[in-house]
Amino acid sequence: MKFKKVIMGLLCFVLPALAIAQNITYTVTGKVNSSHNGELVSIAHTGVGKTTVKDSAIVKDGAFTVTGEIASPSVAYIRLGKVQPANSLDIYLSNGNTVITATDSLKYAKVGGNKLAEDYCRLMENVHPLMKEKLAYNIQFAAIPVAERKGEAARPLIGKILDINKKISDAIYDFIDNNPTSYVSLDFLQKVSGSVINYNIATLHFEKLSDALKNTPEGKAFHEKIMAAQSMQIGTVAKSFESITPDGKKLTLQDVVKTGKYTLVDFWASWCGPCRAENPNVVNAYTTYHDKGFNILSVSLDTKAENWKAAIAKDGMPWNHVSSLLGWKEPAAELYGVHAIPQNVLLDSKGVVVATNLRGEALLAKLKQLLM
């Protein structure tokens, strides 16, 4: 079960799913050992942070057929019976029929009959071993007492986890570049790009996709996200915006930037746990460097003014704040391609991006470099 969760963790990034014009119908037919007759075969569809079982069938005469509808081609996993650990297999569902043949466990089943399902299997031939290795490291890390996870003993293990993450990303990028016409490539480019898109990396691999994929609704929507992420690129001039302060006045980005040497544009919300956990670090940075020319403009993705104002007061954030109270529809967030928080971008006095997504000690270190 733990390995299945790791697989789902890789596949369910916080990027919202991109819907197509209408649902597509998939069919999965399978042959298994007749000893499984009478057992339930279920297909779990993955979503953001959850897995839902809605399509199933019963094995009869060593065979089964499951049919269902999905909004777009996507990863799911098929499970046989109620054995623990689960007898299951991750597969790629798309329009048409996928054929599964298993002589023993589904884990070793042969998958065919559907081009995208076969493409996914080829991708996972390289990714699955890396994910197993990462799972082993994660288990070791979880065994370290929380108070010691930032200490010397944990650092080599953290290095190994970061290294295996890079290997997983590299394996996905290699598949994308070598399979430019497969929808799996577009799908996994979105997944590996995550909610905080690196403009240069995403552009590099997106440009290698076929024109047909780029011009799909999903391709066009993802390209828009990539272009929005360009606003976060170091060396670019930040896009100006205007929003509303807690006392109902209009405030522009330039109003804040021109009053200091460096300005941190910080995207957050009162309901965001990681944001609230990071706020003490931001307060510390402001207290330490404000007199030396450091300003902050916090942009909230709240929808309720009372929650927003209460959080500002409780967390002791004595700097400029704005919000249109539109949640994820906040115009400034959309302008900067923000699809996850907390995020921030550090600007110089001319509004040029000098750093992005600085957290904790990294923020203090950067400000010390720039202002001391």
- Give the model's pLDDT for residue 105: 83
| 9 and 38 co-located in one domain | yes
Q: Which of 232, 251, 266 is the last residue of a domain?
A: 232
Angle between helices 155-178 and 115-142 (to 10 degrees): 170
CATH number at residue 97: 2.60.40.1120
| 104 and 207 co-located in one domain | no
Q: Which of 179, 212, 232 is the last residue of a domain?
A: 232
Whose tokens are 């957050």? That residue is: 268
| 331 and 281 co-located in one domain | yes
| 222 and 250 co-located in one domain | no
Sign of CA dihedral 325, 326, 331, 332: positive
| 212 and 123 co-located in one domain | yes
Is residue 241 within 8 Å of 332, Cβ to Cβ?
A: yes
Residue span of the structural domain in which 40 resides = 2-113
Q: In sequence order, what DSSP letters do the residues of 131-185 get, joined into one string? A: HHHHHHHHHHHHTS-GGGTTSTTTHHHHHHHHHHHHHHHHHHHHHHHH-TT-HHH
DSSP 292: G
Phi, psi dihedrals of residue 82, rounded to the nearest 5° = -120, 20
| 195 and 247 co-located in one domain | no
Helices (H), 66-154: 115-142
| 249 and 313 co-located in one domain | yes
- Give the model's pLDDT for residue 20: 36
Tell me the mean pLDDT per 10 residues along the chain, length 372: 42 35 83 92 74 85 93 90 79 94 87 95 96 93 88 89 95 97 97 90 96 95 91 90 96 95 97 96 96 97 97 97 96 91 95 93 94 84
| Residue environment code for 117-140, b if the CB has 16+ CB neighbours within 10 A, otherwise e | bbbbbebbeebbebbebbbebbee
Q: Quote the number of domains for the chain.
A: 3
| 263 and 361 co-located in one domain | yes
| 337 and 364 co-located in one domain | yes
Q: Which of 203, 232, 261 is the last residue of a domain?
A: 232
- Give the model's pLDDT for residue 196: 86
- Give the model's pLDDT for residue 5: 42
Contacts for 36 with CB less than 8 Å, ≥ 6 apart: 59, 62, 80, 81
CATH number at residue 367: 3.40.30.10
Does 237 fall in a domain?
no
**Amino acid making up residue 70:** I
- Give the model's pLDDT for residue 10: 43
